[in-house]
A and B are shown apart, each in its own frame.
Chain A
Amino acid sequence: MGSLAQILVNGILLGSMYGIAAIGLSLIFGTMRIIFLAQGTMIVLFAYLTYWSFEKAGVDPYLSLFTVIPLAFVVGLGLFYLLFRKAAALEDKNVSLLLAVGLMYLIDNLILKIWGATPRGINLSYSGAMLVIGEIRISWLRLALLGLALASALAVYLFLKRTRVGTAVRAASEDMEATTLQGINSVWVCAISFAIGIALAGVAGVGMATVYSFDYQFGFIFAIKALVALALGGIGNVFGALAGGLLLGIIENLAAYYIGIAWIEVASYGVFMLVLIFLPQGLFGRRGLVKKV
């Protein structure tokens, strides 16, 4: 029993990363109706920046949250106005999809040029600290990651429910045309949700830097994982996306334990295909959204 509980705990902790990324994807998809395939690459980019400031200036990764999040927000705004502003308004979503592919290609290879192909990771003085409950051992760092995920989900939820801009974002996710007719600036709404999505990539990047080792190829895989989490949880629901991430983490850990580490990917992509085919609205999503795509 102890080992099963340990697997579940590990799964939830791993899944919190997927959850943060999936919330970002969900926000961007909600308003712009595109799946931002470069999300994983952005996460890796911010992980490298965190790593870099730790190596060069000794900044504690958790402290760099305060610089990375605003930076990511600004980068998001910049990317939106430079690349996606026109494409987001097009009926043909393939343009945005290919733009994201191009961006991913570009940043992945820039990272390769700057930092090389060796996997990087941060070794903190408190990396090995463990919380022990009975037979279950939990790394404090991973627990902090879960805390980050919950805090991000709560922050996005409060933003959507309690602020005027958040209300506009929600309205735009329901019906962009009607929202524009109400006098809401649709470009601004898209820009804000895109920037918040990238800011969440910043959060996930810091989290990744503290716990995992990463290299330039990791972004693509991670974007797919976030996408699987989003498909699993369902689009249009902040906590659904988080739950999808946690669920995916559990599935991967169970697969690693019962089938073998080499088969993790098959399990998660298999679940992805099954969800896409049989449950396109996801576990916690609203039905209407997928049909409108």
Chain B
Amino acid sequence: MSDQRVDDADVNTEMKLPPDGGGRSRRKLILAGLAALGVLFFATLPFYYDVHNGQFGVFFFNVFVYVIVAQGWNLVSGYTGQISLGQNAFFGVGAYTMALLWFNDVTKTGYYFDPVLMILAGVVPFILAVLVGVPLLSRLRGDYFAFGTLGMGMIVTVLFINGGMFTGGAEGRMLVPKMPEGVVFNLRTHYWVALLVAVLSTLVVYVMTTSRIGLALRAIREDEVSAASHGVNVLKYKVMAFAVGAFMAGVAGSIYGYYLLQVTPSNVLTSNWLFLPILMVVLGGTGTILGPWLGAFVIYLISWYGDSYFAGYHPIISGVVIIGVMLFLPSGLMGLGQKVPGLRKGGRGSG
């Protein structure tokens, strides 16, 4: 996965940024241990807790799905600095890819949770992201990329609503009749699949961003012109981050589609799948690997309890939270943790 165009000089300057060596690696080790414990806890939870009937099963399942989308956004916007406002389109396209292929029995397997369909649900948004990303990312940056992706999301939504017989229009596609015989809907499967994909996508983002690719991505975020002049193929890396993020959103969409068993424009293409993951990443800490997890738990908790105790008010609270975080805590909750040991603040916002 290495790329020769990131030359060694660039690697060295990047290495100098975090000034202290020892404390950082110990911190990392502790975090990795905690993360492993957390994964172990969630993976074994269904053995001593009824995730199908207990309310925390649905809660954690939703959190995991949001984590997948949020990690995708984190990769393109947090690490690479290209604000994408089209993640809901990728989520919806992924859900629809799974639903329409399953509905029309294209693969003929008839499985529930068909891995082939789930991968295709990522591949189609990946291709869409490359097609949209190459022209948008080669000419423009910043705001204009954001609004180009927003326009893409709008077009995709309208296309699915107007899709007629192919997409099922506003009613979408009902998948309940496609359930194979003898398979009982048990949330336990969804829970594990979502957890697995959430962990995998976190690992993918971690591996990508700690490798040479990550150096290129962060170089682009800090200063695109400087990155280009150091021999980073700016367009290639930006499109790569965008497309991998789209892949993740698409797979998340397919998992959610398997859970709803009905895919409609109003449940998989809403702006919730755009703004909530962004909110989660921003609250947790943009450009940090565990930020999306932290953010997803906090935000989903707010909307979960908000829904039961202050019905209808939680979007207002979410708005206040976004504004508050951007005003007072632009580096998120993870940034708060980093401030305590007196570490230097990350590059965001200081460039």
Contacts and interface: CB of A to CB of B under 8 A. Distances in A.
Interface of A: 34-35, 83, 86-87, 90-95, 97-99, 101-110, 112-113, 220, 224, 227-228, 231, 262-263, 265-266, 269-270, 272-273, 276-277, 280, 290, 293
Given A102-B320, A224-B151, 7 more contacts: A106-B322, A106-B323, A109-B313, A269-B155, A273-B155, A280-B140, A290-B144
A266 B140 contact: no
A87 B316 contact: no
Contacts of B348: 92
Interface of B: 77, 81, 83, 135-136, 139-144, 146-148, 150-152, 154-155, 158-159, 161-162, 271, 275, 278, 282, 312-313, 315-316, 318-323, 326-327, 330, 348-349, 351
Interface centre among A102, A231, A273 (most CB of B within 10 A): A102
B333 to A, nearest CB: 15
Contact of B323 (A83, A224, A263, A277): A83
Contacts, number: 125
A105 B147 contact: no
Contact of A220 (B77, B139, B271): B271
A228 B312 CA distance: 31
Contact of B151 (A83, A98, A269): A269
Given A262-B162, A263-B158, A273-B155, A93 B278 contact: no
Given A269-B154, A276-B148, A101 B322 contact: yes
A112 to B, nearest CB: 8
A93 B143 contact: yes
B309 to A, nearest CB: 15
Q: Which 9 A-B pairs have the closest CB atoms?
A: A106-B319, A102-B322, A105-B319, A109-B315, A102-B323, A277-B135, A269-B151, A265-B158, A272-B151
B136 A276 contact: yes
B315 A94 contact: no
Contact of A98 (B136, B144, B278): B278
A92 B349 contact: yes
B135 to A, nearest CB: 4
A105 B315 contact: yes
A90 B351 CA distance: 9
A109 B326 contact: no
Among A87, A99, A105, A280, max chain B CB count under 10 A is at A105
A26 to B, nearest CB: 13
Contacts of A107: 319
A276 B330 CA distance: 29
A222 B62 CA distance: 31
A99 B323 CA distance: 5
A103 to B, nearest CB: 6
B326 A99 contact: yes
A109 B319 CA distance: 9
9 contacts: A93-B142, A97-B83, A101-B322, A102-B323, A106-B320, A108-B315, A228-B151, A265-B155, A269-B151
Most buried by B among A86, A227, A276: A276
A98 B322 contact: yes
A266 B151 CA distance: 9
Contacts of B161: 262
B143 A101 contact: no
A95 B275 contact: no
Nearest to A96: B326
Nearest to A262: B162
Contacts of B271: 220
Contact of B143 (A97, A103, A109, A272): A97
A256 to B, nearest CB: 13
Given A103-B319, A109-B319, A266 B158 contact: yes
B152 A273 contact: yes
A293 B144 contact: yes
A227 to B, nearest CB: 6
A172 to B, nearest CB: 18
B275 A227 contact: no
Contacts of A95: 326, 330, 349
A272 B140 CA distance: 14
Contact of A277 (B136, B150, B327): B136
A281 to B, nearest CB: 11
B89 to A, nearest CB: 11
Given A87-B326, A105-B318, A35 B143 contact: yes
Contact of B322 (A94, A105, A277, A280): A105
B295 to A, nearest CB: 13
A270 B148 CA distance: 10
A95 B323 CA distance: 9
A269 B86 CA distance: 13
Contacts of B77: 94
B33 to A, nearest CB: 32
Contacts of B141: 293
A221 to B, nearest CB: 8
B322 A276 contact: no
Nearest to A90: B349
Contacts of B313: 109, 113
Nearest to A104: B319
A104 B322 CA distance: 10
A276 B152 CA distance: 11
A273 B151 contact: yes
Nearest to A107: B319
Contacts of A99: 322-323, 326-327
Contacts of B151: 224, 228, 269, 272-273, 276
Contacts of A106: 316, 319-320, 322-323
